[in-house]
Every structure is written in C-alpha cells, then in structure tokens.
A and B are shown apart, each in its own frame.
Chain A
C-alpha cells in the first residue's frame, strides 16, 4: 500500500498542454505562483473527469482508463476510476479509504510518520504550495500562449525511484491543471488529461463516503 501512495499523491497535485514554449522570467514565475495561490484559495470545490493514458514503448496501443476527481476544501479528495475497472481512493480526516471493486479498506495516515508527511504533502499540493516551496522538487517553468508548464524533478529518493520527472500543465485562464505527465526513467509515461472541470459547484459530502 505504501507503494501506491506517492502515485496518488502526485496525481492529486493536479488540483490546484505543446506549442512554442518559452522559459518564464523571474518576474513571470512570481506572477504564476501568485495566480496559483489565488486560485487555490478561491477554489472551494473542484469536479473533474479524467483520462489516464499509460504509454509503454513496446506496446502497440496505450492503455487507457477513465474516471473522476472530486475536491472539497479544506482537505477532502476522491480519486475514482470507473472504466474499465472500479477503483477509488478517498482522503478524508487523515485517513485513506480504498474501494477496490467493492472491497473496502482504510489506512490511518496519522499513525505513521511517513504517511503523516505524505498527508501534509497532499494538502500542500491541493493548495498549490508544493510548487511554491521547492522543497520536494526542482522546478522549472515554461509557457505557451494558453498554458503554463512546470517541470518537477523529485528530490525525494523514494519518489525519484518511481519517476524521473512530473510535468504539470495549467490552463492560463482557469489556472487549473489540464495535463499531468509522470515520466519514468525508461521513458515510459503515464499521462492524465482532465476534462469537464467544474469549480465551486456544490459537491455532496456523500461523494466522499467509501
């Protein structure tokens, strides 16, 4: 279970696209970070559909799964797959609830130091703070006309083992993440595309029940 948590965590950073890219200047980075902070404060709820594309070089086709993501401030998160399998994780009140095709389980994130650290990191990611402090990742910034792109290289050994780089792409208008790409050392990657984003649309608490 410990193995999946870093993946969940990085997928969840998605809360808070490739034409001609230019590097952000120091001033532009400050503006970008301010926009992220502002959006994080204003976004009380987020509902998202997503498509997960797993690319493995030797395969003829990418493996595609679909699902939905719900966030409710300050710290309720649900990440759920609906096609081609049913699987969901919910972060709520320092616990991680798992529903694996009807098999339910939960983990107390507060009882374990590593989990507690991860839980703090999740809340930080949701707030966009993770990008701001540079504590966990070496961050570089580029942009196109419509998109901000951040390149995150993990400093943490455990995360580094799992992927080389994480790329987050933010829509400039909404400041929501549209794409997250986890690139592994082999070059294989997992790309998550977000669609149908709804911000501040009420979400019933029941959505976060396992």
Chain B
C-alpha cells in the first residue's frame, strides 16, 4: 500500500501539463441544462457489482454496493469477497461522509481519489454549462469541484455511454457503461488515464 501511495505521488507530480481537447470546441453551445445519469437512480434497487481492480500490477476483487437513499443521496459500500466492509461512503451533491474505511485505505490521497471516482460514477443530476453536438453524439460538460465531467450520450438511443473527467489540463479517467437494460448498466469500467488504476464492475443479477 505504501508503494502504491508513493507511485501515485510520483505519477501525479510528473505527468506533463499539455493542453487538453476532449471535443471539437467549434460545435459548442453555451446552455444550462440538467442531465441525468440514470444508472443508480432507482431507490428500490440494490445495485450490487462484482468488482475487479488492477492497480500498479496488483489485482484485487471485491463487491461494490450502491443504493440511492434520498433525493440526492447515495451510499457506496465496498466489501471484500469474504464480506468484510472495506469502505462505506455517503454522497449528497457536494457533501461527502466517510462512514467507515479500513485503516489500510485510510489515507487522504486514497479517499480523495475514491471520492472523485465514485461521485462521477454515481451522481444522478448534473448541471451542464456547455453542450456539444457531434455526429451520433451529444456531449455535456459539467463541473465537479475543480474538475470537469463530460457526459457522452448516444443520439440514437439517448443512452449515457461514457463519462470522462478532466482537470483544466489533464485527462483523469473514463467511465464506460455497457450492456444497458432497463436503465441498469450490466458492465461498467473506470479507467484512470494518468495512473495505473482500472476498475471493472459486473452486475450481480438477482
């Protein structure tokens, strides 16, 4: 774990600061809208995903559990395959509560990273300020703290396919939603672009 933290620091510190183009800026319109990420929006559904994490050559498996517990509130719990809770977070727009985290993961850098990752993954209602139009695609830009999220919707079926998070200058991570049925994504991947961290989520069907 210590090696991981040092590696994270090194990578974060030395990643180059190139300018960033996610979408063709000539297609943009300035417009405020509320867009929906529907994949964790049913308060009556327990979202349970088998999770596989690859971090710096290490592999780890667990279970991700997400539940909508209020109009804007979600709980996200991650357990080991054996059932023990590794972290238990609550998200409510900008509010964030750590209900539990095991000591090995109780480091600011790790919690901040997970907070940003899971907020982007879960947050249902998002206010956009720039919209883009591409062939077969609509893209919406939102702000998350000091970072930006780009929401990619497919034009044909209007489904949310991808969320990409960036800082002003750097790409941070990409979330892809696949095999979508009844507003539930059976497969989700979250790939970091600056650090060697990848998470894959597979829906555990009831």
Contact = CB atoms under 8 A, between A and B. Distances in A.
Interface of A: 1-4, 6-8, 11, 52, 54, 56, 58-61, 63, 65, 81, 84-85, 87, 100-101, 103, 105, 158, 161-163, 182, 184-186, 188, 190
Interface in B189-203: none
A58 B75 contact: yes
Given A58-B69, A85-B81, A161 B102 contact: yes
A147 B45 CA distance: 37
B161 interface: no
**What is the size category of the interface that chain B forms with chain A?**
20 to 34
Nearest to A100: B61
A84 B48 CA distance: 11
Given A7-B84, A60-B46, A186-B100, 7 more contacts: A1-B58, A1-B60, A3-B80, A11-B82, A84-B205, A87-B61, A101-B61
A184 B80 contact: no
A54 B81 contact: no
B17 to A, nearest CB: 35
A105 B67 contact: no
Given A7-B84, A84-B205, A190-B83, A162 B48 contact: no
Interface in B124-165: none
Interface in B71-86: 75, 77, 79-86
Interface of B: 44-46, 48, 50, 52, 58-61, 63, 65, 67, 69, 75, 77, 79-86, 88, 99-100, 102-104, 204-206
A39 to B, nearest CB: 24
Contact of A7 (B50, B65, B83, B100): B83
